[in-house]
Amino acid sequence: MSTIPSEPNQSDKWIKAPDPDLYINPLPVRIWHWLNALGFVVLILSGTQIRYANLFNLMSFETAVRTHNWVAFAVIANYFVWLGFYLFSDKITVYHPELNMKKFFTKAFAQMEYYSFGIFKGAKGPHKVLPYDKFNPLQSITYQIVMLLVVPVQFATGLMMWDIKRFEGAIQMLGGLKVVDTVHVLIYIFFVSFTLVHAYMGALGKTPATHFREMFTGYEEEH
Amino acid sequence: MKVGSTAGDSAGNKQAELSVLTMFFICCMVFSGVLYAQETTEPENPATEIPAAEEKIEPAVIEDAKAVAEDAQVDVKSRLEEILKKNAKCLRCHNRDKSKLLEDGESMSIQVHREEYLNSAHGEISCVSCHRAIGNRKHPSKSTNISISSEREYSVEMNDSCRKCHKTKFTQYKGSVHAALVAQGSTKAPVCTNCHSAHAVETMEDYHVTTGFPCKNCHETIFNAYSDSVHGEARINGNTIRDSHIQAPICSDCHKSHEITALGIGDPLRATCIGCHENVVLLHTQWLPNAGTHLDIVSCAVCHAPFAKRRFDLHLYDNVAKIPVVQKEGEEPLQQQLQAIADEGSDGDPLEIWKQRSGMGQQGQAVDISLRSRMEVMSGVTAHQIANKSFAVRTCDSCHEPNSRQRQNVTVSIPGADGRKQSFEADREALSNVEAANSISDFYALGGNKNKLLDYMLLLALLSGLAIPIGHFTLGKMIKEKINKGEQ
């Protein structure tokens, strides 16, 4: 689909929508994504401050806990923007354009091959981004696990530790505060790595800024 | 598959966007509403009931007493005269400055000052009411061949005579830590007369705040700490605290007078503080995250005695019965049992092994014992150095900064059969030891007892988070250069 007429100049890219057919990331998704990104950075920083008060001094422990609590609630509220959007719009299909396991694995291996070899040779990505087929199989499976399992578990464990007394029953059921905390920290460790890799992969577009710009404008540029 | 949907969908998309945005704002409103409600809701006062220890006399008993008194009114005068006459007989000798040689070689004054006795609370009671044995013609003397082994033994022996009239108080005393120590053979723990004196008997209604009598006799350092504290100063200066009817506490306000307890074990102490400082739960909730939990596991003095040395005090908690595990009577102290297990060199956590061996879990009982921890001050002296609240520690770092932990001691405590807590020092590493994780699953303090394994995992995650992008990027660059070279 070569709908982009010619290479638009740098300033045009911000103003003009290159192709109305390639409106990939609608406003709620963009709002959710960037608020979530900001929230995660603050949560990781304040969380690191809480856990390693002896190594960092970005803010006092009290401020760190207070910030962590408030931002966490904002991130939880924001999660429902994402969930609400996908539950109440037909865009939910972006996660499952086709329920075909064979095709899924074939495409997944093609994507892995691309990241391992093709990308270095300047080959085009095997996945073509479309409004109802947004993710490559690797993205699709990763984001589903993260958003439907990892993130909710992180919210739940965090909520329990926000008011230990109120959630005493649940904490005991899960095996004690130490268990709940360990799960929360393990997921934090995962997100430290995830955020870095996610940002790097975001820079693997046509130019390092391409995917970042797409996430602001909502329009896919690479086709 | 909806690949290639046209721009016709975009109007529908915009509509969906609008509705989702509206939902977002509603979600935010609901969340902030819930949060606000949580912040402003007054928490339930978790103070446990303050037992009303005062002796209560049934109205019926009072009525009976009145009736008897009316009947006996005629007799009272003559009975009193008789008692005084009898006492006069005793006082004739005992009013003099005389001593008696005891079996232990010490001599004991047997002088009873007539005026002091007559003016005492027992002034109208005959001597033989208490000295019953003497009334039965068993006066210690050479002729009766009755002697007294030691002054202390005589006091302990005589103690029982108080029971006759002061039943409730005596029962309370019997349950106290003082009585438990006497029963164990302590030569210092007080009997009734140590506080109330034997003959110049006083009620302790007028506690000697400035001299500290009687508690200071044995607990001098603690009394001095108290008298310099916000409580002691207020009381000595006669100041009342907050409301005009509440006076600053003296020893017995917190420790009780007859059923004296060691307040070292958590809940009773907290209930005692909250008994007067009713709004503390609310005040802490206003600024302290997890205020309820903090108030549960941090002893008040930890923050309110600002210069106190602190410690983590681990105790065994029975999660089924929901009570702390108490040392069984006649059992070897827990410390020695655990040490013995550790010395055997068996693999694993000594506590887990102890739990399996100690017989709990037999007869189908569920075993669910874990170590819980409290923050306590190091000594009883510091526990009394409560300062004005403007000096209270409010910096979280003093407990939650990992290095601050290294300076703090870790003890394991178990209440003994007599109610006193036995503490012994434990290894600091116990709190972050992976092997002990199961035993201390209920204890976790932010920034504190971190599991070191998780720290290494974080380091690994951070390194991989950097190594993957850098590696991938470098590899790409190298390959591109190779390809370019090949093309040239």
Task: State the number of CA atoms in the 13 A half-sphere of A208 facing the CB.
Answer: 4
Residue B284 distance to chain A (closest CA, Å): 14
| Residue B431: predicted pLDDT | 62
| Residue B125: predicted pLDDT | 85
User: Quick one: angle between helices B334-344 and B350-357, nearest 10?
Assistant: 110
| Residue A94: predicted pLDDT | 85
Which range, of A45-59, B49-63, B72-86, B254-268, averages the lowest pLDDT?
B49-63
Mean predicted confidence (pLDDT) in B413-440: 66
Mean predicted confidence (pLDDT) in B247-263: 80
The alpha carbon of A195 is separated from its chain's Cα centroid by a whole number of angstroms, namely 8
Which residue of B24, B38, B454 is in closest CB contact with A189?
A: B454
Residue A66 distance to chain B (closest CA, Å): 8
| Residue B49: predicted pLDDT | 37
List Cβ neighbours of A112 (8 Å cut-off, separation of 6 or more): A138
Most A CBs within 10 Å: which of B403, B441, B484, as the mutation test of the A interface?
Answer: B441
Mean predicted confidence (pLDDT) in B280-293: 90
Which range, of A108-122, A180-194, B381-395, B427-441, averages the lowest pLDDT?
B427-441
B446 CB neighbours in chain A (<8 A) are 50-51, 65
Using DSSP's 3-state secondary structure scheme, residue A133 falls into: strand
Comparing A4 with B21, which gets the higher pLDDT? B21
| Residue B328: predicted pLDDT | 73
Q: Report CA torsion sign: B253, B411, B289, B319.
A: negative
B89 to B99, B114, B120, B127, B144: CA distances (angstroms): 18, 11, 18, 10, 19
Comparing B447 with B50, which gets the higher pLDDT? B447
Using DSSP's 3-state secondary structure scheme, residue A219 falls into: strand
Residue A11 distance to chain B (closest CA, Å): 24
* pLDDT(B271) > 70: yes
In which region does residue A129 sit, left (phi positive, over 0), alpha (psi from -120 to 50) or beta (all else)?
beta
Task: State the number of CA atoms in the 13 A half-sphere of B52 facing the CB.
Answer: 2
Report the 10 Å Cβ neighbour count for B98: 13
Residue A9 distance to chain B (closest CA, Å): 24
Phi–psi pair at B145, nearest 5 degrees: 60, 30
Report the 10 Å Cβ neighbour count for A14: 10
pLDDT tens-place values along chain A, 223 residues long: 444 444 445 444 454 556 777 888 899 999 999 999 999 999 999 999 999 888 888 899 999 999 999 999 999 999 999 999 999 988 888 888 777 888 889 999 999 989 888 888 878 888 888 888 888 889 999 999 999 999 999 999 999 999 998 998 999 899 888 889 999 999 999 999 999 999 999 998 888 898 999 899 888 886 5
Interface contacts A/B by beta carbons within 8 Å: 179
Report the 10 Å Cβ neighbour count for B349: 21
Question: Rounded to two decimals, what is the model's pTM?
Answer: 0.73
The 3 state secondary structure assigned to B307-337 is CCCEEEEEEEEECCCCEECCCCCCCCCHHHH
A27 CB neighbours in chain B (<8 A) are 17, 21
- Tens digit of each residue's pLDDT (9 = 90 or more) over B168-197: 999 999 888 888 889 888 888 999 988 888
* pLDDT(B39) > 70: no
Cα distance between residue A168 and residue A159, in whole Å: 11
| Residue A45: predicted pLDDT | 96
Chain B, window 331-370: residues with a beta carbon less than 8 angstroms from a chain A beta carbon = 370
Residue A117 distance to chain B (closest CA, Å): 8
Residue B395: pLDDT band with limits 50, 70, 90: confident
* pLDDT(B139) > 90: no
Which residue of A50, A98, A163 is in closest CB contact with B1?
A: A98
* pLDDT(B216) > 70: yes
Which residue of B13, B31, B289 is in closest CB contact with A23?
A: B13
Vertex A88: Cα angle to A31 and A202 (nearest 5): 35
ipTM of the complex: 0.79
Helix (H) or strand (E) holding B410: strand B409-415
* pLDDT(B60) > 60: no
Chain B, window 458-477: residues with a beta carbon less than 8 angstroms from a chain A beta carbon = 458, 461-462, 464-466, 468-469, 472-473, 475-476
- Tens digit of each residue's pLDDT (9 = 90 or more) over A29-64: 999 999 999 999 999 999 999 998 888 888 999 999
pLDDT, averaged across chain B: 75
What residue in A sits closest to B20 (Cα-Cα)? A85
Which residue of A89, A133, A179 is in closest CB contact with B3?
A: A133
Most B CBs within 10 Å: which of A32, A34, A62, as the mutation test of the B interface?
Answer: A62
